A and B are shown apart, each in its own frame.
Chain A
C-alpha cells in the first residue's frame, strides 16, 4: 500500500509536462467560452493614471505613443482602447504616434474600436501621425520639432495643414504624455519627456516590465502606471466598460489557480517521497 502511494507521488513528480499544458489550455479556454465576469478592483497605481487624465483640462491635446507589436497586443491593445476611450470621453485630443514598425496596424484597429464606441472622428478628435524609426532620436526630436519629424500624418495629410496640430510642435505643448510600451522605449520618454521637459506622464507596460518602473512612480517621474492585462482590466473597470482585458482576467484567474494547485501538489509529492525528485518527463 505504501509502495502504491509512493508510486502515485512519484508519478506526480515525474508528470509529463504535456498534462500540465493540457490543464493550462483548458483553464484558458473555459472562461472564454463560459465567461464568469469576476470583479476587478482598481489598484492605486492605475487609479493614479486614470486621475492624471481626469485632471487634464477639456479640449487639451495629449501626446500618446503606442509602442507595441502583435506579440504583446493581448496586454497592451485593451489598455490602448481604454485610454483612448477615456481621452475621447474627456474631450481630449490624442496626438498618436508609434515607434514600432508593426504598430500602425494595431493602432488603427484600436482607434476603430475606440472612436466607434465614443463617436470620435479623425482630424476632429484625434490625429494619427504614424510610425517613425529611430527610437531615442525620435523622442529627442519630439522635444524640438514634431512637424519636422512627421511632415505628414499616417494618411498622407501635411501636418502643417491639420487644424489640431496648430500650436503643437514639442513636448512642452502637451499637458500630458502617455506612453503604452512593450519595450525600453518607455525609458526614453521618462528620461527625455518627463525628466528633461518636465511633462506629466503616465505609462502602460506589460506585467513583467511594469515592476521595473515602480521606482519612477515613487519618485513621481511618472504619475500613474498601468501594468499588463490586470492593469488594463482595472482601467476598464474605472471606465465602466467590459473589454478584452476584463474578459481575459477570468482566464488568467483560473490559470493562476491551476498553477498554484500544481505547485502545491508538487510540494506534497516531494514531502511524501522524502525529497526524491526525478526530472519531469519531456514532450518530444
Chain B
C-alpha cells in the first residue's frame, strides 16, 4: 500500500529536479502542466477541507457542545457564501464580493494591526540585559527602533546611517548564513522524502 505513493513521490520529484536542468521547451511545458495539476489537486483538497469543517461544526451543534452558537454562524456563513459564490460569482458587486470587501477585508486589517500591540508587550518582556548576548540584542533593538523612524534623525544625525550599516552588514551576513543553512536543510528534507528515506508522511509502520 505504501509502494505506490513512494513510487509516485520519487518519480514526480525526480522529474521536477531534472526539468530544472533541462531548458527544452517540452520539459518546461511539462513543468507548467504539473504546476497546474498541483493547483487542481489543491482545489479538490479545499472541498475536502470544507467537508471536514462542516462535519466538525455540525457535530458540535448536534451535541450542543460549548460555543455551539458560533458553530451555527460558521455553518451558515460557509453555506451562504458558497451558494452565493456559485450562483452569482465572486466579482466586485456580487454578494460575495461585498461580503469580502465589507467583512473579510476590515477584519483581516484589524487582526493584522493588533500585532503592533503584541510587539510592544513582547519587546517589553524580551529585551532585558540578562547576559552579554541579551544586552547586545537590547542595544541593537533600541538603535534600530529609534533609527528607523523620523525621530531618529532629530535625536542624532548618525542614527539613520548606523541603522543602514546594521542592516547592510551584520544583519545581511547573518541572514545569508542562516539562508544557506535553511537552503541545505530544505534540499536534505526534500531528498529524504523523494528518496523515501523519510516516510512518516505516509504513517511510519
Identify which of residues 47-103 in chain A touch chain B, using a CB-to-CB cut-off of 8 Å: 69-74, 101-102
Chain B residues with CB under 8 A of A260: 142, 145-146
How far is B179's CA from A71's CA once the two chains are assembled, in angstroms?
A: 27
Contacting residue for B124 out of A72, A108, A263, CB 8 A: A263
Contacting residue for A212 out of B28, B92, B117, B175, CB 8 A: B175
Chain B residues with CB under 8 A of A43: 160, 164
**Separation in Å of the B186 CB from the closest CB of chain A?**
13
Chain A residues with CB under 8 A of B106: 70
A71 in contact with B109 (CB, 8 Å): yes
Number of interface residues of A (CB under 8 A): 58
B151 in contact with A262 (CB, 8 Å): no
Chain B residues with CB under 8 A of A108: 92
Answer whether residue B101 sits at the interface, using C-beta atoms and an 8 A cutoff.
yes
Q: For chain B, which range describes its interface: under 10, 10 to 19, 20 to 34, or 35 or more residues?
A: 35 or more
Q: Which single residue of chain B is at the shortest CB-CB distance from A262?
A: B124
Chain B residues with CB under 8 A of A262: 120, 123-124
Chain B residues with CB under 8 A of A199: none
B149 in contact with A230 (CB, 8 Å): yes
Identify which of residues 98-117 in chain A touch chain B, using a CB-to-CB cut-off of 8 Å: 101-102, 104-105, 108
Chain B residues with CB under 8 A of A230: 148-149
Known contacts A70-B106, A105-B105, A140 near B128 by CB under 8 Å: no
The 6 closest A-B pairs by CB, nearest first: A38-B150, A70-B105, A71-B108, A253-B149, A71-B112, A137-B35
Q: List 12 A-B contacts (CB under 8 A).
A: A44-B164, A69-B108, A71-B109, A133-B39, A140-B32, A214-B168, A214-B175, A218-B168, A257-B146, A267-B127, A280-B121, A280-B124
